[in-house]
A and B are shown apart, each in its own frame.
Chain A
Amino acid sequence: MSIGSILNVSLNALSSYQLAIDVTGGNIANVNTPGYTRQRAVLTATGSVNARSEAAQISVKVADIERIFDTYTENQVAQQQQKAGYGDTRYSLLQKVETVFDETTGNKLNDAFNRFWEAWSDLALHPDGKVERDALLAAARTAAEMFNSYGDQIYDLQLGIDEGLKDSVAQINSLTSRIAALNKEISSLSARGGETNLLRDERGLVLKDLCRQVSCHWVEDANGAVNVYLPNGQAVVEGIGSRDLALVKNGQTGFQDLVLKENPQVVLNDFLAGGGKGVVGAYLDVRDGLLPDYEDKLNELAKTFMDAVNDVHTGAYDADGNLGERFFVLTDENSTAYARNITVNGAILSDPAKIAASATTARDGEKAAEIAALKDRLLMGGGSATLGSFYASLVGTIGRDAAAASRDADYQNAVLTQLQNQRESVSGVSLDEEMMNLMKFQMAYTAAGKLCRVADDLLETLMKLVD
């Protein structure tokens, strides 16, 4: 035991508290940094006390700079990001669908239908009327164009999703290669016993971004590298290497399929869709599940509408005594996309006299009345619904889907917020706490300085004895 050792203790304490203040400063500086995990200088006492030899050497050191986090919560946040990404994307897509079918203000298909039936009914009363024929053609064109516009807008949404997928894939590829790069730094640094806290923070953040985009899971290996797998077990990050995703056009659907760049034969769509996870999952679900479903119903409606009108029309006589032609035709006769292709027969458009309204060669208008009465016929759903009620229920279905998507997005985000709060509560920086720590360490630093002064005084006293 010596005065020198007191100076030594004082030195240890000064440098330890300086480091602790440094760490606190780092925390304060990063109070708003996303993904930052607060750090703490772990102070431990060193030295030993040997009372018998009257020797005591107790000092302090910073044993470790600890990263305060909870792996379980971190993982949960990442997992929940997948569901929140899915929910948000699905809702924003369904909002667009909802706008297509926005019947709240009228002037959509429901009105077009009503006007179409009304025009036939008017024609039934005035089978010779030029005005009534022109009005009917206008109403018929509106109805056909409304179908076209619905069909086109659904198709455009699908194309828009393809564009979104391109962005997502680019983002996923950059995120996976970033994870691989971080893996490399972390494993080489930790092999040399280095400090990897900040790198891990960054990797956690990148991983969360990746989770938002695509359904995946990951495992950390012994070197500290994380391997990321797609739901089918395909690794996209393995150690320090990553595999890129790519898009190839599906010849049948005309839309983009998701594949692994190095293995374009295996289509990953089915693995990524359906689980309710990730932006990509939502894209695929909506593009290949919901939208085709709506489109099928719309096509069914357009086809039934077209066939029913044509059926009566071709059995009726026009103003010149000809048998009627088909009233509605398809711009592409081979297409099954009836909604996008339905149009009024050009021959009738250019010559309204060809509208066939009568059951006999006299102008009785009976067939026009029969067409007007199609609105009440149970033509849809195997004889359970009229054209109008089928459409109303389609709009209802879309509304319900959108409402459900909205609720789901809200719920998933609420859960995410909850989990983020938990994470934040463990790992986030509290300025109040850091301030207290700062005061605490500052005081200790001052005290250590005082200790140094005391040792100095002691030494001086000792030296004076010698004089």
Chain B
Amino acid sequence: MTIRITDGMRYEATIRNLFVANTNYGEAMTRLASQKRINRISDDPLGLSQVLTLKQANADIGLYSDNIGQTNSWLAETESKLNSAMDLLVRASELAVSQASATANASSRKIASREVDVLLDGLLSLANAKLGDRYLFAGTRTDTEPFRRDYTAAAVDGPYAAPENTYQGTVTKGGTYTGTENRTFVVKIVKGGDEGEATYQVSRDGGKTWSAESAAGDLQNTVDLGDGVTLDFSAGEFGAGDIFRIEAYAAGYYRGNADELRVAVGKNASTPYGVTGAAAFTAQGGGEVEVFQVLNDLKKALEDNDAQGVADQIDKLKAAQDQVSLAVSRCGVRANRLEIARNNLKDLETSLAQRISDLEDADIAELSVKFSAKEAALQASYLVATRLQNASILNFFD
């Protein structure tokens, strides 16, 4: 059957073909210019979803690598300080050994005592070293100078009321801290109201875990925080969420805490970095030796010309060296772990970048060929359009 082809059909079809050829040409040109396969989300919705998820994973890797990079310098600094401390302790050992012998005398011990004094200064500055504005050996209390040179009796600082508290009355601390490690007590008001209505909870670990809620009215009595520390609240209006903080320090030289700093190095994987001063220099965090005590004792024995006292410190100094050396090796182990994690991330990063590129980027060679084809098609359409008027009987009338 012959179809009637009208002039309208011919022109319409030509115009439509021109549009199609132009659209295809434009798309190919956009792809070639952006060098991307996906220029609108409808170009490949599934691919784009994948790209987004991969980019999230990529950002995660960047984040973890960044974390590791930053903690690396912290670990390196910690390790170098600990090594220096080690050198100081070795020197102290040498002094102790030489001054404990019978050949030493009062004046040599006096001289040695001055050297130990210098060593103590050195150790103090090492133990109180900072990276940026954070103390390396203060546990998580990185804003507190962690060590004191002299023995300090157990103390309770505070109470500190949080600035946003509703409660405006006075809080009085009482009792003596009997604990063996530094501790932050926190009292949190659970239900607001006056002292007869309000209830509270007590935390012994800085606010992470909480005791059972008190009964209403308990605030009228002395609040027992444990380990001998008590608080008394004057009458007043309490607000829910009011926070009172009490820093309790065990007797000794340390002011930081035994909590380790942690860093995320992967999904649900965090690792401690750095070493607490408690572990390296005190008997609080798993160690056995109060390093500052030992040096102070040595200095005193030397000043007093007490040969036996000096000899007593030799073993303790050995133990102190072991303790610091353990801390150094712990740094090494942690640095190692971070290094392994970093290498894994790097491998992953490369393969992710590859996959993102596969999904997102255009194959330039293939695209160039396609572009040429579309260009040819467009030119052909133009040619057809110009020939259109030839195909009419009118051209054959004279």
Binding site for B on A (CB under 8 A): 31-32, 94, 98, 101-104, 106, 110-111, 113-114, 117-118, 121-122, 124-128, 317, 320-323, 358-366, 369, 372-373, 375-376, 386, 388-389, 391-393, 395-400, 402-403, 406, 417, 420-421, 424-426, 428-433, 435-436
- Does B53 sit within 8 A of A, measured CB to CB? yes
Q: Which residue of A lies closest to B259 (CB)?
A: A364
Which of B48, B55, B259, B397 lies in contact with A360, CB distance below 8 A?
A: B259
- Does B226 sit within 8 A of A, measured CB to CB? no
- Does B211 sit within 8 A of A, measured CB to CB? no
Instruction: State whether A392 touches B49 (Cβ < 8 A).
Output: yes
- Does B322 sit within 8 A of A, measured CB to CB? no
Given that A392-B52, A424-B9, A425-B9 are contacting pairs, would A363 and B141 also be in contact in the complex, using a CB cutoff of 8 Å? Answer: yes
Residues of A within 8 A of B12 (CB): 417, 420-421, 424
Give the shortest distance, in Å, between A342 (CB) and chain B (any CB). Answer: 20
Q: Mind listing 23 A-B residue pairs with CB under 8 Å?
A: A121-B66, A122-B66, A124-B263, A126-B134, A128-B133, A321-B162, A322-B162, A360-B205, A360-B207, A362-B184, A363-B143, A364-B261, A369-B262, A369-B263, A373-B268, A389-B53, A392-B53, A396-B48, A399-B48, A400-B46, A425-B5, A428-B8, A430-B7
Instruction: State whether B63 touches A125 (Cβ < 8 A).
Output: no
- Does B208 sit within 8 A of A, measured CB to CB? yes
Which of B40, B43, B45, B133 lies in contact with A397, CB distance below 8 A?
A: B45
- Identify the interface centre among A121, A366, A369: most chain B CB within 10 Å of its CB: A121
Instruction: State whether B267 touches A31 (Cβ < 8 A).
Output: no
Question: In residues 28-68 of chain B, which contact A (Cβ within 8 Å)?
Answer: 36, 38-46, 48-53, 55-56, 59-60, 62-63, 66-67
A406-B42, A429-B8 known; 13 other A-B pairs, CB under 8 Å?
A: A32-B8, A94-B42, A104-B38, A104-B43, A113-B56, A118-B66, A125-B70, A125-B71, A323-B241, A392-B56, A426-B4, A430-B5, A435-B394
Q: Which residue of B lies closest to A392 (CB)?
A: B52
Q: Which residue of B lies closest to A428 (CB)?
A: B6
Which 5 A-B pairs have CB atoms at the shortest separation, nearest pair first?
A360-B206, A399-B45, A428-B6, A396-B49, A399-B41
Question: In residues 160-207 of chain B, which contact A (Cβ within 8 Å)?
Answer: 160, 162-165, 184, 186, 188, 205-207
Which of A98, A121, A388, A428 lies in contact with B56, CB distance below 8 A?
A: A388
Q: Which residue of B lies closest to A354 (CB)?
A: B164
Instruction: State whether A322 touches B164 (Cβ < 8 A).
Output: yes
Residues of A within 8 A of B60 (CB): 117, 375-376
- Identify the interface centre among B48, B52, B133, B257: most chain A CB within 10 Å of its CB: B52
Q: Which residue of A lies closest to B57 (CB)?
A: A388
A139 to B370, CA, bound (A): 41
Given that A322-B164, A369-B264, A402-B42 are contacting pairs, would A424 and B270 also be in contact in the complex, using a CB cutoff of 8 Å? Answer: no
Which of B41, B261, B392 lies in contact with A101, CB distance below 8 A?
A: B41
Give the shortest distance, in Å, between B205 (CB) and chain A (any CB). Answer: 7
- Does B325 sit within 8 A of A, measured CB to CB? no
Give the shortest distance, in Å, between A200 (CB) and chain B (any CB). Answer: 19
Give the shortest distance, in Å, between A418 (CB) and chain B (any CB). Answer: 11
Residues of B within 8 A of A103 (CB): 41, 48, 51-52
Residues of A within 8 A of B188 (CB): 323
A360 to B183, CA, bound (A): 11
Residues of A within 8 A of B261 (CB): 364-365
Give the shortest distance, in Å, between B18 (CB) and chain A (any CB). Answer: 14
Give the shortest distance, in Å, between B53 (CB) and chain A (any CB). Answer: 5
Mark contacts of B54-94 with chain A using CB atoms, 8 A cut-off: 1 yes-contact digit, 0 otherwise: 01100110110011001100000000000000000000000
- Does B318 sit within 8 A of A, measured CB to CB? no
Question: In residues 107-139 of chain B, which contact A (Cβ within 8 Å)?
Answer: 132-134, 139
Interface of A is mostly: helix
A246 to B205, CA, bound (A): 69
- Does B98 sit within 8 A of A, measured CB to CB? no
Give the shortest distance, in Å, between A403 (CB) and chain B (any CB). Answer: 4
Interface of B is mostly: mixed
Residues of A within 8 A of B264 (CB): 121, 124, 369, 372-373
Mark contacts of B129-157 with chain A using CB atoms, 8 A cut-off: 1 yes-contact digit, 0 otherwise: 00011100001111100000000000000
Residues of B within 8 A of A425 (CB): 3-6, 9
Residues of A within 8 A of B140 (CB): 358, 360, 362-366
Instruction: State whether A320 touches B5 (Cβ < 8 A).
Output: no
Instruction: State whether B205 touches A431 (Cβ < 8 A).
Output: no
Instruction: State whether A114 touches B55 (Cβ < 8 A).
Output: yes
Mark contacts of B234-266 with chain A using CB atoms, 8 A cut-off: 1 yes-contact digit, 0 otherwise: 000000010101000000000001010111100
- Does B393 sit within 8 A of A, measured CB to CB? yes
- Does B16 sit within 8 A of A, measured CB to CB? yes
Q: Which residue of B lies closest to A397 (CB)?
A: B45
A408 to B380, CA, bound (A): 28
Instruction: State whether A430 touches B4 (Cβ < 8 A).
Output: yes
Residues of A within 8 A of B36 (CB): 104
Instruction: State whether A117 touches B16 (Cβ < 8 A).
Output: no
Instruction: State whether A429 touches B7 (Cβ < 8 A).
Output: yes
Residues of B within 8 A of A106 (CB): 55
Instruction: State whether B48 touches A98 (Cβ < 8 A).
Output: no
Residues of A within 8 A of B259 (CB): 360, 362, 364
Residues of B within 8 A of A436 (CB): 393
Given that A366-B262, A372-B264, A431-B392 are contacting pairs, would A388 and B164 also be in contact in the complex, using a CB cutoff of 8 Å? Answer: no
Instruction: State whether B55 touches A110 (Cβ < 8 A).
Output: yes
Residues of A within 8 A of B70 (CB): 125
Residues of A within 8 A of B186 (CB): 360-361
A350 to B24, CA, bound (A): 52
Give the shortest distance, in Å, between A368 (CB) and chain B (any CB). Answer: 10
A428 to B207, CA, bound (A): 86
Residues of B within 8 A of A375 (CB): 56, 60
Instruction: State whether B6 touches A102 (Cβ < 8 A).
Output: no
A417 to B132, CA, bound (A): 72
Residues of B within 8 A of A431 (CB): 7, 392-394
Give the shortest distance, in Å, between B34 (CB) and chain A (any CB). Answer: 8
Residues of A within 8 A of B40 (CB): 98, 102, 104, 399, 402
Residues of A within 8 A of B13 (CB): 421
Give the shortest distance, in Å, between B67 (CB) and chain A (any CB). Answer: 6
Q: Which residue of A lies closest to B189 (CB)?
A: A323
Q: Which residue of A lies closest to B160 (CB)?
A: A321
Given that A128-B133, A424-B6, A425-B5 are contacting pairs, would A403 and B45 also be in contact in the complex, using a CB cutoff of 8 Å? Answer: yes
Instruction: State whether A395 touches B49 (Cβ < 8 A).
Output: yes
Instruction: State whether B141 touches A362 (Cβ < 8 A).
Output: yes
Give the shortest distance, in Å, between A95 (CB) and chain B (any CB). Answer: 8
Residues of B within 8 A of A94 (CB): 42
A101 to B45, CA, bound (A): 12
Give the shortest distance, in Å, between A154 (CB) and chain B (any CB). Answer: 15
A391 to B268, CA, bound (A): 21
